Amino acid sequence: MAGFRTSIFAFLGVLSLILLLVHAQDQSDFISIACGLPANSTYKEGTTNIDYISDANYIDTGISKSIASEFQGTLQQQVWNVRSFPQGVRNCYTINITRGTKYLIRGTFVHGNYDGQGNLPEFDLYLGTNMWDTVKVENASYSIIKELIHVPSRNYIHVCLVNTGLGTPFISAIEFRPLKNHTYVIISGSLALLLRADAGSTSNQSYRYAYDVHDRLWLPYNYNKWKDLSTGLTIESQSQNDYQPASVVMSTAATPINESAPMEFYWEDNGRHTQFYIFMHFAEVVKLEPNQSRSFNITLNGKYWYGPHVPDYLSTSTLYTSWRPMTGNNTYKFSLFKEENSTLPPILNAVEIYSVKDFWQSGTDQADVDAIRKIKSTYGIKRD
């Protein structure tokens, strides 16, 4: 059974891969801020063609620093500089956005020994007054990435770094990417990314814009009981499927090596209180003969979840948690079972797992925020 792990190690090297631009797509709604870049300066990131701007117009505090040159080599340019905050407990960016739009919000942190001292801090990241996550830097070379899917209720948003006495906060980049309104729908709260995996990847590359129109980061995921299937053809997703996962991600799929065994993966929630949502993306990548078929059922913790599912040839279909989040269990185990009359085993092309952050829409007392922090459940995700 494959377990997913979502520590920062999973993101190690994400930004270090050289991705070739396939074709330019619209990025006019993107907000791409390179923190610590000299005021008023802009540049185009060569690997993605995304235009980045300095953070100087979004914040009055903090100081600009550069990461050490030995860390820059393979990393994208938006992390070459950082803004660090030796002064003040709480430092906030104010960023104008469009109220009511569903955004993917990404904070990136690469220490890169910018202070010349190798002091690796731990600090808190807030969205307004709401605790988003803790950033714990364990290695100066790691890219730490925090992602949220969030619908702001105002035309601006504060991204804040809070010094918790464990070192000087800093940040490398802040990015906003609009998503389609009726994707990633949940009852309430916002979604924090745990895992976004390109199952059956045949390269060791992660993919983002322009492969992915919404600039989601897809990390390669393979498992020793799975093998890869792939097609050189394009996977359609524009017309039928609003999630629009990148074609290059969907064109590879994992399938069990033992064709009669189920495909299984799981994660754990030690606190049992976390709410989760899953989004699984499927596309048939094999041109089936008339006497071949692929259909499978999906169970969650041994109970029927969906099926039978028959992936469409070269076209993405997305299965996801509907209306009610998954919660209250130590383990969440998904199993994909070949149907008895199916000649081929199940496949999985890509999967996303999120946890719910219950953010207040408007201002909240700091005391409330602190109380929530104390009762916040912890979850751990393990590899077996």
Ligand X SMILES: *[C@@H]1O[C@H](CO)[C@@H](O)[C@H](O)[C@H]1NC(C)=O
- Residue 98 interacts with ligand X (CB under 6 A)? no
Instruction: Please identify, among the stretches 105-113, 166-174, 211-219, 327-335, the one whose residues bind ligand X according to the rule CB under 6 A.
Output: 327-335
Binding residue for ligand X, selected from 117, 341, 362, 378, defined by CB under 6 A: 341
Q: Cβ(337)–Cβ(369) under 8 Å? A: no
Give the integer Cα–Cα distance in Å for 326 and 277: 6
Binding residue for ligand X, selected from 42, 188, 258, 366, defined by CB under 6 A: 258
Taking the complex as a whole, how short is the minimal distance between the CB of residue 265 and ligand X, in angstroms? Answer: 14
- Residue 247 interacts with ligand X (CB under 6 A)? no
- Residue 141 interacts with ligand X (CB under 6 A)? yes
Instruction: Please identify, among the stretches 85-93, 107-115, 169-177, 337-345, the one whose residues bind ligand X according to the rule CB under 6 A.
Output: 337-345
Task: Name which of 203 and 238 has its Cβ closer to ligand X.
Answer: 203
Binding residue for ligand X, selected from 239, 291, 322, 362, defined by CB under 6 A: 291
Binding residue for ligand X, selected from 232, 322, 340, 362, defined by CB under 6 A: 340
Binding residue for ligand X, selected from 239, 260, 322, 378, defined by CB under 6 A: 260
Q: Cβ(289)–Cβ(246) under 8 Å? A: no
Give the integer Cα–Cα distance in Å for 357 and 150: 9
Binding residue for ligand X, selected from 42, 69, 74, 139, defined by CB under 6 A: 139
Number of other CB atoms surrounding residue 299 within 10 Å: 17
Task: Name which of 107 and 112 has its Cβ closer to ligand X.
Answer: 112
Task: Name which of 26 and 340 has its Cβ closer to ligand X.
Answer: 340
- Residue 204 interacts with ligand X (CB under 6 A)? yes
Binding residue for ligand X, selected from 18, 23, 289, 302, defined by CB under 6 A: 289
Side-chain half-sphere CA neighbours of 109 within 13 A: 26
Binding residue for ligand X, selected from 2, 92, 280, 326, defined by CB under 6 A: 326
Give the integer Cα–Cα distance in Å for 108 and 43: 18
Taking the complex as a whole, how short is the minimal distance between the CB of residue 200 and ligand X, in angstroms? Answer: 12
Instruction: Please identify, among the stretches 73-81, 211-219, 303-311, 358-366, the one whose residues bind ligand X according to the rule CB under 6 A.
Output: 303-311
SS (H, E, C) the chain: CEECCCCHHHHCCHHHCCCCCCCCCCCCCCEEEECCCCCCCEEECCCCCCEEEECHHHCCCCEEEECCHHHHCCCCHHHCEEEECCCCCEEEEEEECCCCCCEEEEEEECCCCCCCCCCCCEEEEEECCEEEEEEECCCCCCCEEEEEEECCCCCEEEEEEEEEEECCCEECEEEEEECCCCCCCCCCCEEEEEEEEEECCCCCCCECCCCCCCCCCEEEECCCCEEEEECCCCCECCCCCCCCCCHHHHCEEEEECCCCCCEEEEEECCCCCCCEEEEEEECECCCCCCCCCECEEEEECCEEEEEEECCCECECEEEECCCCCECCCCEEEEEEEECCCCCECCCECEEEEEEEECCCCCCCCHHHHHHHHHHCCCCECCCC
Subset of residues 57 to 76 that bind ligand X, contact rule: CB under 6 A: 57-58
- Residue 377 interacts with ligand X (CB under 6 A)? no
Subset of residues 153 to 172 that bind ligand X, contact rule: CB under 6 A: none
Task: Name which of 188 and 304 has its Cβ closer to ligand X.
Answer: 304
Binding map of ligand X across residues 11-50, x = CB under 6 A, - = no contact: ----------------------------xx----------
Taking the complex as a whole, how short is the minimal distance between the CB of residue 133 and ligand X, in angstroms? Answer: 21
Binding residue for ligand X, selected from 51, 77, 236, 308, defined by CB under 6 A: 308
Taking the complex as a whole, how short is the minimal distance between the CB of residue 139 and ligand X, in angstroms? Answer: 4
Q: Which residues bind ligand X (CB under 6 A)?
A: 39-40, 57-58, 96, 100, 139, 141, 181, 203-204, 258, 260-261, 289, 291, 293, 295, 297, 300-301, 304, 307-308, 326-329, 337, 339-341, 343
